[in-house]
Amino acid sequence: MKNYSISTCIAVLMFSSVIAQEKTHKVLFMEEYYTEYITVAKKNNENLKDVYLEKVRFPIFNKFFMKSEYAPFVYEDLAKPSLDIPYLKKTLKGITNHQKKIEKIILEALQQSNTLLKNEGITVYVLPPSSELRTMTETMHGVFGFTAGSKQVLINIDTAINGWKEALSYSVAHEFNHTYWTKQNLASVTKWTLLDYLVFEGRGDYFAKLLYPKAETKWTEALGKEKKQELWATIQPHLENQDFSFQAEVMFGSDKFPTWGGYSLGYDIVQSGLSKDTSIKPEIWINLSAEKILESSTYAK
């Protein structure tokens, strides 16, 4: 009887430990993969892309993201190589020098986000940004994120760009919103339209601005009133379009669409749709359909 009691206590303690780990947010730094890539690249600088895929993309994806809800998108995101080795060394050094501060900011932002929505046990993976995305990185104050699923977020950081600390808090909150939506809604999604994408990103920015209202977000302010109306008139007939390439053009910009146009428009749709009744709690409005939010916005027909 005595042995049984001891065994039971041990089992309870182990179970409690597992539960505690599941509820604890974590920050993982991926610099070891990039450091190895740099080392090999010195000896094989004629095939940098192949070396990058072998030392960074494949091992990171295979170890951490194969079972993520958005695994195919993570796989594509990790395909952007870091071919500018001096820039990579510089950003890696910045991350290493500020590692404790980065971890502190991320964990605090996750805790702040948890005050509005509950999603425990998120892991944030910190990576240096690709040199191919340097313009985007500068626009976003040195930080941009990518949600891999309901429990995983990738964050790219260049600490040499002014404002990265404030941008990091905001970016984590934005991506946190995506993780919660994914946890609650992805299983029931049967299609993904341009309107869904607009509102998805608009929700993320609306949520992050609730926590960090002073954050400077050039992407949500990329278009003035007239330009937003012009873009809306162009894309309104295509809101049900499910071609992701077309959606990305609208969101990020192309030769046909203005830079950050979809983000600017998406935030305006959500902000105008939800600001009419600020008493609606985040756990309610985050689960509203894109169509419902559009109906309440200034863009309703």
- Is the pLDDT at 40 greater than 60? The verdict is yes
In the chain, the percentage of residues whose pLDDT exceeds 90 is 84
Distance of CA 283 to the CA centre of its chain: 19
The whole-angstrom distance between residue 178's C-alpha and the CA centroid of its chain comes to 7
Give mean pLDDT, residues 184-202: 97
92-101, 129-138, 224-233, 257-266: range with lowest mean pLDDT = 129-138
| Token representation of residue 270 | 């959500």
Say if residue 64 is exposed, middle or buried (CB neighbours under 10 Å; 0-12, 13-18, 19+): middle
Q: Which residue has the higher pLDDT, 157 or 10?
A: 157
pLDDT (0 to 100) of residue 6? 53
Q: 10 Å Cβ neighbour count for 194? A: 24
Least confident stretch, 12-26, 116-130, 213-227, 270-284: 12-26
* Interval 160-170 mean pLDDT: 97
* 230-247: pLDDT as tens digits: 999 999 999 999 999 999
Cα 1–chain centre separation: 52
pLDDT score of 5 more than 60: no
pLDDT at 244: 96
Within its chain, how far is the Cα of 285 from the centroid? 19
Q: Is the pLDDT of residue 4 over 70?
A: no
pLDDT at 14 over 50: no
pLDDT at 291: 97
Q: Residue 24: pLDDT above 90? A: no
Sketch the domain layout of the chain as residue ranges.
26-163, 190-296
Which one is predicted more confidently, 294 or 23? 294
Question: Exposure of 226 by Cβ count < 10 A (0-12 exposed, 13-18 middle, 19+ buried)?
Answer: exposed
Once rounded to an integer, what is the mean pLDDT over residues 134-162?
95
Share of the chain above pLDDT 70, in %: 92
Report the range of poorest mean pLDDT among 38-52, 153-167, 187-201, 211-225: 38-52
